[in-house]
Structure 1
Amino acid sequence: MSTKYLKRFFKPSCIAVFGASEKENSMGGVVIQNLQESGFKGSLYAVNSQGYEQVHGVSCFKRLSDLPEMPDLAIICSPPESVADIIRGLGASMVKAAMILTGGLSIADGDSSQTLRDEVKEAAKPYGIRILGPDCMGLLVPGHNMNASYSHVNILKGKVAYVGQSGILGTAMIDWATGQEIGFSHFLTLGDGADVDMPSVIDYLAQDPYTHAILLQLNRVDGSARDFLSAVRSASRNKLVLVLKNDTFVGEKSGTELAPGIHDDDQVYDAALRRAGVVRVETSDELFNALETLTRMKPMRGERLAILSNGTGPNALATEKLLEQGGQLAKLTEDSIAQLSEILPSHWNRSNPVDLNADADPARFAEAVRILTKDKNVDAVLMLHAPTRLAPSVETADQVIQIARKTPRNVLTCFMGRATAIEARNHCNSAGISTFLTPEESVDAFMHMVDFHRNQDVMRQTPPPYIEQNTPNHVKARELIQTALSEKRDYLSHAEACSLLDLYDIPVSNTYYSHSIDEIVQHSATIDSSVRIKALHKQNVYPFSYDHQGSQRWRDIAYDLYSATEVEHATTQLSYRLAESHSAEEQMGFCIQQMKRGFQSLQINVGITRDPTFGPVIVFGAGGHTVDVLADRHVMLPPLNMALAKELIRQSRICQIIQENSYRPEQDIEHICQLLLNLSEMIVDLPHLKCLEINPLLVNKAGLLATDVAVSLSDEEGSLSISPYPEHLTEEVTLKRSGRKAIMRAIRGEDEPNHLEFYNKLSPQSIRLRYFYSRGVPTHQELANWTQIDYDREMAFIISVPREEDHGMETLGVVRAVTDADNVRSEFSVVIRDDLQGEGLGVALMSKIIEYCKGRGTLQIIGSTLPSNKGMQNLAKKLGFENSFNVEEDVVDMKMMLNSPTEDWQKIRLNLPH
């Protein structure tokens, strides 16, 4: 996730284009012409071994060494076989950024299995040169007057950054956006992604003040899924992020590697993008509409939509689409209804959606829009227009535009038709008003914004209080896994799998095991109800082992056996079937359980699987011995908290079944949530756990009960895509003055209520010294950003002690450090409660954050404080910081070197001699 040298791509002062000529099909020639036409103000050169004097009026040189100056950015359009040598020459000349537009580098290099792309990466490695591409379309930065691409048109200046993986789709987007008068702050495609990857670019754009939204076109996630999600989650906290995820494979997906138990990897991508707080669009049409929306829409006030049209047909289409997608129709106030009644026929419907009637003229449209934008129950207005002689499209557009410009609410327009509607839509485009072709597209665009805010709300939900887990049992669980791995097994036996669930407080049905039919019959006599017998063998010991009919695993089970004769007959049949299909070494005997089908039990399938891209995921849905267990399977990335667990349950039809049939739905959902949290804890604790399936998990009046479970293992540790809570950083400290025992640990989302209480106990002076200005009570969104942090990117440690009155915890102080993407600098801040000065909290917290940053390889830790804050300055000096007065900012800067830089670019960033 490094952004070093990316400025050389986006803001170069000198560019050299390799392989440029004036031939008709010269890609390099097109790039030079585009740079000239975009008004690039820096130095521009062409390099071509043919020895041209000029290319389109730009000076051309035969070799890199002949250039009067070395470029910040080299653009390579040369033949594939020459690219690696060009990269070596650039590296030797200390050029640090190269963009490769040349394609065809994925082919093998001669007789070697190594591709030309691999050779290019090897050539760049010794020099630290960053490479964008190969096979990218280039990049466009209107704010820097730079069109360094082979695009057929330039782009307008705007506030949206576009990052794609497909060059051709990128050129189509440019053409469409130019026609719609939509601009971009940055536009680039990554091509083959040999070096500069999407997380790096997202990090760069997230810091760019001129980029307000980011639109990603994604075929697949290359490299680290954790880096990708971390970058997207960070960007989405401050900017709107939309993603078009394409299907990587065309035609049959037989070659696609899927996680066990997942029939479509799109499920996992959906879960990952939701967890990152972004909105996914499914088609290129949706992408264009999403770009229209996020470019022109004002900040969202809410999701209550008012719809109006000059006919019931368009209103019905829009309303049906809105309700189908879970949108919300605004309920108009009586005042609005009264005002509308003055301009509408007496027979109007007096509700939302509003039918203006076929005789509506432009003035009626505009007045109705004005009234609806003043309604306190309306957050946005959608105006649908069908052209009539009384309401010409252009005149209607012009009058509605005047109203839309004056309101803080969003007004979306839809001018249906073509002949006269095109000019009306053009007027809206020029005025910066969102406009669409159909009612359905209009609602889709509005719902993209709603989905974004809903995802953000889910991401920022305050989790309930944290419950300490049973850590001694977790140690036993790790020992259980290690024992199986030491025996060269990639699975747990049924008995071991049940023991694993028991260690994580998941209730399991009492089970008896035996290889003997006679013993099974004898044991069944001790059970005072019907029994269930399962034949155990090498195949069904693995989770998610379904055949194409979905019935393979259920052929190994006999149900509802009451008498000893039934038990003997069923077990004998299972034994014969086992002998026919499995060798003696693969047979593992039988298990017998009491039947638990009664009490109106609901059957659930829940477990863990490992995705090739995103690592461990939790699966949840309907269960039982039916073919359709995959039809209601939903996934979520761990680690989970209670809010996320409830969201996963809400996605499944299980939630509705519980709400409709349980006499205690809240308690049942609470129990299932706790089980999901236990599975999440299991993933973090047991990295060698590959898959786990509980099917069925019974939910009834008695609570939860797992009746069948299977567990598989892997020698390779699973890597979570979202950094888990760093429990290992927790330690006990003793307060210096009072001698009280306190806990110092990383902050978590559950701390939000305590953090607000802590903030409210700070004096106005402490708040001013911490934030450099007086401020009010923080909002929920601010508190969520402070407590629900990405541990890969920032760290906050708190010190807390037990509260005597309610056995909860109260926060005494907090220290925070935010590290840049290159891990060069980390900026700290610290604040202690006023009534606890002298307890040694400042030293303890600062020492902790310094130790943490140093351990993760950060080079320098920095901070700033007001000149009047002598206490902070003295603490910094005591800990080894160098303090200096910053005249420009009127603050005292505090700096400490933690690790020595090893590369020149690090020394440059730190202003050190190199």
Structure 2
Amino acid sequence: MSTKYLKRFFRPRSIAVFGASERHDSMGGIVLRNLLDSGFKGPLMAVNKEGYAQVNGVTCYESVSALPEMPDLAIICTPPDSVADLVRKLGANMVRAAMILTGGLTLESVTGQGSIKDEIREAARSYGIRILGPDCMGMLIPGSSMNASFSHVNIRKGRVAYVGQSGLIGTAMIDWANGQEIGFSHFLTLGDGVDVDLPSIIDYLAGEPTTHAILLQMDRVIGPSRNFISALRAASRNKLVLVLKSGIIPDGRMPVVTCEGIADQDRVYDAALRRAGVVRVDTSDMLFNALETLTRMKPMRGERLAIVCNGMGPNALAYDRLRARKGQLAELAEDTVQDLAAVLPAHWNGRNPVDLNADATPERYAEVIARLAKDPNVDAVLSIHAPTRMAPSVETADAVVKIAKKTPRNVLTCWMGRESAIAARNRCNASGITTFLNPEEAVDAFMFMVEYHRNQLVMRQTPAPYRIDNQPNRRKAVDLIERVLEEGRDYLSHSEACDLLDLYEIPTSNTHYAEDIDSVVEIARQLGGSVAVKALHQDNVYPFSYERDSSRNRWRDLALDLYSMQEVRHATTKLAYRVSERYPPEQQFGFAVQQMKRGFQSLQINLGITRDPVFGPLVIFGIGGYTADTLADRALMLPPMNSALAQQLVRQSRVYDIISENSEWPERDLQNLSDLLIKLGQMAVELKQLKTLEINPLLLNKRGLLAVDVSVALGEPAALSVSPYPEYLTEQIRLKRSGRQAVLRAIRGEDEPAHLEFYNQLSPESIRLRYFYSRGVPTHQELANWTQIDYDREMALIVSAPKLDGEGYETLGVVRAVTDADNIRAEFSVVVRDDLQGEGLGVILMQKVIQYCRDRGTLMIMGSTLPSNKGMQALARKLGFRNSYNAEEDVIDMKLMLHEPTEDWQILRLQH
């Protein structure tokens, strides 16, 4: 993930097109004509070995060496076997950006060493040249007057950036958008992505002020998933991001990826995208509608929707869709109902959706929408129109558009039909009003916005305080797994798996183990009452064993509700016989015996940890017991988790509905399940070799939680997609003057209340010196952004100590460093509570953040302060910073080099 040299793709000063000719089927010629037609203002050069003097009026050269100057951007449209050598020549001549539109590069190279694509990747790496593509459609950027693509038409200027992996879907999107009079800030496809990848482009676009939203079309994640998730999370904090994710057609050359316990990998992508705070769309139609919404909708006020139509049939379609998507129908205020009664027929039922009746005139439409848009209980209005002689489409559209332009609320329109509706939709398009073909599409488009805001609320929800402080037990867990691996096993025995849960304070059922049938009978006699017996063997010590064997055989290894000793002996004998038929003696591991736990109206739950080839560890949660295989109620979440994310995971499952309807203590049950899920997430983070873990069933009843059966498999370490909390940065410190003990550590989302209290204790002068202006109390959204950070991109270190009155913890000081995507610069800020000046906290915090940036390879750490802040300037000089006055900003810049740059692009970046 790197944005180095990306500016040369998006804002090139000069372009050379390789393979350009005037043949009608020449891709290079088409690209050159598009550049000319779009009015590109910089120098253009054509390159073709055939020796043309000009191509489309542009001077043509025979080779790279013949060019009068090296271009900022090279566009390659030459035959596949020539591309790798051309990339080498460009790199040798210090060209830093090349866009490859040529396809077919998965073919074997002329050297016989891998594919042409592999050869290009190696050539680019050797010379430091950035490659976009191959097999991409190019790039269209209206703001730079640049159509560097083979698209059949240019695009309009807009506020949405489109990034795709399919060129043909991209050209279809352009054609549709032009028909709807919709524009883009940027439009490009990545093709095979040998170098410039999706995270890099997302990072670049997230910083573009002309881009208000990002629309992604993708079929797979190329490269580390953590880069992808991190870039999406950062972008979605400030811009709305929607994703159309499609699958890949299997062709026999690519192995099918699998995730144990999850039959459909598409659900893994759902979980990953939701964790990143973005919204997924399912179809190309939805992608088009999403673009309509992103381009034309005003800022969201809320999610309460009012629906208006000249008939109840379309209203019912819209309402059904809203209910299916779990949307919220607005409840009209009493004043609004009375106002509407004056303009609606007497038989109106006084409710939302509003039926205007078939004789509704354009004036009635306008009056009703105007009144609804003023209702404090209404956040958006959907106007649906079916053509009648009394309600002509075009005249009604004109009336609705006039009202929609005046109100700050969103007004969505739907013009049903075709012949007379087309003109009405065109009026809305020309006026920048959202319009759709049918009620369902309109509701879907509205819900995209709602889901985005819901995701952002969950991402910014303040987690409840939760700590896992049993450090000795966590060390024992690591030792347990290391011992098993040394024995050459890739699984834990049943007793070891129960011990592992105990170490993480997850309650487990008391289990006894027996080698033979007589021992099982004796254990059952001692336990008394009803017992359960499980035959242990090579397969069912692994989690999700029903993936290895049929579900029928899985449950045949278990005997339940055995009361008499005769029943126990008979059932155990049958189990032993079945196992002996399928496994040799060395793969039979005896029996596990437990007392039955049927009572207390127990709910059976299935949960655990699995591992995805793309996104790494995942936490699974859903209905358990016999139904786990059939219902496949599997909600997923990327670890690590806090309490807010854990509760969201529970609410995605059927388990939550059952608890809500049947439990006497739903809040307690939700809290207990959330705590357990946090522990599972912690296990996924800390136990690197833990591959899969399954608890099935976990019993939930009035006594709490109890894990009845558990299995654990081990494997090679896998990378997490979300950066975990950096425990290694935690250290104990002592304040210089008072000797008070405190902890220096990374900030957590749970610190939000303490952070607000810390802010409120700062003096107005401290706030002015920190923020360069006087400001009020920060909002929850600001506090969430400060405390719920992506540790891959920024770091906030705080000094925390127990309050002097013993009631909780308080924050004494904080230092923050935000690093750019290429790890060139980190910008710091530091503030200490006024009453703690002189305790040495500023020095401690600054030394810690400097060392942190140095360890992660950041080249420079820098900050700015007001000229009046002499204390900060003195501290910076003491720590080795070089201070200088910035006349343009009227601040003191403080800079400290941590590492010397090794590449020319790093030097250039540091100079600007």
> What's the TM-score once normalised by structure 1's chain length?
0.98
| 2:328 aligned partner | 328
| 1:563 aligned partner | 564
The aligned amino acid for 1:870 is K
The aligned amino acid for 1:632 is D
| 2:694 aligned partner | 693
| Separation in 1, partners of 2:302, 2:786 | 24
1:728-743 counterparts in 2 under 5 A?
728-743=728-743
The aligned amino acid for 1:66 is A
Asked if the contact 1:623–1:629 (Cα under 8 Å) also holds between the matched residues in 2, the reply is no
Asked if the contact 1:502–1:508 (Cα under 8 Å) also holds between the matched residues in 2, the reply is yes
| Separation in 2, partners of 1:357, 1:894 | 69
| Separation in 2, partners of 1:237, 1:170 | 26
Q: Secondary structure at the match of 2:65?
A: helix
| 1:171 aligned partner | 171
The aligned amino acid for 2:205 is L
Asked if the contact 1:605–1:629 (Cα under 8 Å) also holds between the matched residues in 2, the reply is no
Asked if the contact 1:513–1:591 (Cα under 8 Å) also holds between the matched residues in 2, the reply is yes
| Separation in 2, partners of 1:819, 1:545 | 44
| Separation in 2, partners of 1:465, 1:678 | 14
| Separation in 2, partners of 1:739, 1:254 | 62
Following TM superposition, by how much is the alpha carbon of 1:113 offset from its aligned partner in structure 2, in angstroms? Answer: 5.3
Asked if the contact 2:537–2:590 (Cα under 8 Å) also holds between the matched residues in 1, the reply is yes
Q: Does 1:594 align with 2:595?
A: yes
Q: Secondary structure at the match of 2:545?
A: coil
Q: Which moved more, 1:179-188 or 1:329-338?
A: 329-338
Deviations 1:490-548 (A, max 9, x none): 11111111110111111111111121222221111110211111111111111001157
Q: Does 1:769 align with 2:766?
A: no
| 1:133 aligned partner | 133
Q: Which moved more, 1:101-110 or 1:376-385?
A: 101-110
The aligned amino acid for 1:189 is T
| 1:655 aligned partner | 656
Deviations 1:404-453 (A, max 9, x none): 11111101011111111111111111111000010111100000000000
The aligned amino acid for 2:529 is S
Asked if the contact 1:622–1:629 (Cα under 8 Å) also holds between the matched residues in 2, the reply is no
| 1:48 aligned partner | 48
CA RMSD of aligned residues (A): 1.4
Following TM superposition, by how much is the alpha carbon of 1:904 offset from its aligned partner in structure 2, in angstroms? Answer: 1.2
| Separation in 2, partners of 1:628, 1:85 | 54
Q: Does 1:799 align with 2:810?
A: no
Following TM superposition, by how much is the alpha carbon of 1:352 offset from its aligned partner in structure 2, in angstroms? Answer: 0.8
1:106-125 counterparts in 2 under 5 A?
106-110=106-110, 112=112, 114-125=114-125
| 1:290 aligned partner | 290
Percent of aligned positions that are identical: 68
Q: Does 1:778 align with 2:778?
A: yes
Q: Which moved more, 1:219-228 or 1:572-581?
A: 572-581
Deviations 1:542-590 (A, max 9, x none): 1001157422221111111122222222222211111111011111111
The aligned amino acid for 2:412 is L
Q: Secondary structure at the match of 2:911?
A: coil
The aligned amino acid for 1:326 is K
The aligned amino acid for 1:911 is Q
Following TM superposition, by how much is the alpha carbon of 1:347 offset from its aligned partner in structure 2, in angstroms? Answer: 1.5
> What's the TM-score once normalised by structure 2's chain length?
0.99
The aligned amino acid for 1:813 is G
| 1:858 aligned partner | 858
| 1:702 aligned partner | 703
| Separation in 2, partners of 1:361, 1:41 | 51
| 1:512 aligned partner | 512
| Separation in 2, partners of 1:459, 1:74 | 41
Deviations 1:8-36 (A, max 9, x none): 00100110111111112100000000000
Deviations 1:199-252 (A, max 9, x none): 000000000010000000010111110000000000000001000011223699
Q: Does 1:577 align with 2:578?
A: yes
Following TM superposition, by how much is the alpha carbon of 1:253 offset from its aligned partner in structure 2, in angstroms? Answer: 13
Q: Secondary structure at the match of 2:342?
A: helix
Deviations 1:302-347 (A, max 9, x none): 0001111111111111111111111111111111112111111111
Deviations 1:810-845 (A, max 9, x none): 011110000000000000001111111111111111
Asked if the contact 1:84–1:119 (Cα under 8 Å) also holds between the matched residues in 2, the reply is yes
Deviations 1:20-67 (A, max 9, x none): 111121000000000000000011011111111111111110011111
Asked if the contact 1:621–1:629 (Cα under 8 Å) also holds between the matched residues in 2, the reply is no
Following TM superposition, by how much is the alpha carbon of 1:805 offset from its aligned partner in structure 2, in angstroms? Answer: 3.4
| 1:305 aligned partner | 305
| 1:276 aligned partner | 276
Asked if the contact 1:142–1:184 (Cα under 8 Å) also holds between the matched residues in 2, the reply is yes
Q: Which moved more, 1:566-575 or 1:184-193?
A: 566-575
Following TM superposition, by how much is the alpha carbon of 1:631 offset from its aligned partner in structure 2, in angstroms? Answer: 2.1
Deviations 1:341-379 (A, max 9, x none): 111111112111111111111111111111111111110
1:238-257 counterparts in 2 under 5 A?
238-249=238-249, 256-257=256-257
Q: Secondary structure at the match of 1:488?
A: coil
For structure 2, the residue ranges without an aligned partner over 5 or more in a row are none
Q: Secondary structure at the match of 1:687?
A: coil
The aligned amino acid for 2:634 is R
| Separation in 2, partners of 1:821, 1:659 | 44
The aligned amino acid for 1:583 is P
| 1:66 aligned partner | 66
| 2:394 aligned partner | 394
1:749-764 counterparts in 2 under 5 A?
749-764=749-764
- Cα separation, partners in 2 of 1:250 and 1:393, compared to 1, 3 Å: farther
Deviations 1:177-203 (A, max 9, x none): 011010000000000001000000000
Q: Which moved more, 1:520-529 or 1:479-488?
A: 520-529
Q: Which moved more, 1:726-735 or 1:246-255?
A: 246-255
- Cα separation, partners in 2 of 1:629 and 1:783, compared to 1, 3 Å: farther
| 2:482 aligned partner | 482
Asked if the contact 2:880–2:896 (Cα under 8 Å) also holds between the matched residues in 1, the reply is yes
| 1:224 aligned partner | 224
Following TM superposition, by how much is the alpha carbon of 1:254 offset from its aligned partner in structure 2, in angstroms? Answer: 11
Asked if the contact 1:318–1:439 (Cα under 8 Å) also holds between the matched residues in 2, the reply is yes
| Separation in 2, partners of 1:626, 1:371 | 51
| Separation in 1, partners of 2:811, 2:147 | 52
Q: Secondary structure at the match of 1:876?
A: helix
Asked if the contact 2:97–2:129 (Cα under 8 Å) also holds between the matched residues in 1, the reply is yes
Deviations 1:253-287 (A, max 9, x none): 99522110010011110011011110000000000
For structure 1, the residue ranges without an aligned partner over 5 or more in a row are none
Asked if the contact 1:550–1:626 (Cα under 8 Å) also holds between the matched residues in 2, the reply is no
| 1:890 aligned partner | 890
Asked if the contact 2:81–2:110 (Cα under 8 Å) also holds between the matched residues in 1, the reply is no
Asked if the contact 2:166–2:190 (Cα under 8 Å) also holds between the matched residues in 1, the reply is yes
Q: Secondary structure at the match of 1:181?
A: coil
| Separation in 2, partners of 1:170, 1:783 | 39
| 2:910 aligned partner | 910
Q: Secondary structure at the match of 2:490?
A: coil
Asked if the contact 2:606–2:628 (Cα under 8 Å) also holds between the matched residues in 1, the reply is no
| Separation in 2, partners of 1:908, 1:250 | 44
| Separation in 1, partners of 2:76, 2:809 | 60
| Separation in 1, partners of 2:230, 2:254 | 30
Asked if the contact 1:387–1:393 (Cα under 8 Å) also holds between the matched residues in 2, the reply is yes
Following TM superposition, by how much is the alpha carbon of 1:606 offset from its aligned partner in structure 2, in angstroms? Answer: 0.5
| 1:678 aligned partner | 679
The aligned amino acid for 2:604 is Q
Q: Which moved more, 1:151-160 or 1:412-421?
A: 412-421
- Cα separation, partners in 2 of 1:493 and 1:113, compared to 1, 3 Å: farther
The aligned amino acid for 2:4 is K
Asked if the contact 1:161–1:187 (Cα under 8 Å) also holds between the matched residues in 2, the reply is yes
